[in-house]
Amino acid sequence: MEVHEVTLTVTSTPEGAARVRHQVMNEIRGWRSGIGTDGMDVAEAVAGELLANAVQHAGDGAASVTARPRGSRLRFEVRDRSSALPHARLPRTDAEDGRGLLIIAALADRHGVDHSASGKSCWAELDLSVPTPSITQPPLQRS
């Protein structure tokens, strides 16, 4: 059985987070894991939110992201040097940010935070053995 794992360093900028999100997803696609398009869309959204939170809230210094399959699950871990814990909040309706943890909670099957002496690791897991709802379908029209 082939073992897959990728770890990439993220600079603390939105551009760095976007670049690494693309890189990690390209690595996962290269694993030929059988993850469908909808599953890949969900995985990319979760990875993107974890990375965006790290660069926005963890302060200066690089962070890292690791992606690896664990049985039937795909796990993302984003490590940074900040000891500040993330917390979900209800943003104002006109706010352009503040929904990351809510999105992760809605899309991931499990998620959490692990502390370490050097900071924290925010993680999320997707269960690949169950069908993934599509996040790319257009919204329903109200009449």
Helix pair 37-57, 100-107: axis angle to 10 deg: 150
Task: Give the pLDDT score at 39.
Answer: 87
57, 86 in Cβ contact below 8 A?
Answer: yes
Res. 51 pLDDT band, cuts 50 70 90: very high
123, 101 in Cβ contact below 8 A?
Answer: no
End-to-end CA distance of the chain: 52
Task: Give the pLDDT score at 101.
Answer: 86
Q: What is the pLDDT of residues 19-40, one digit of tens each?
A: 999 999 999 988 877 788 888 9
From 27-36, 38-47, 111-120, the region with the lowest mean pLDDT: 27-36
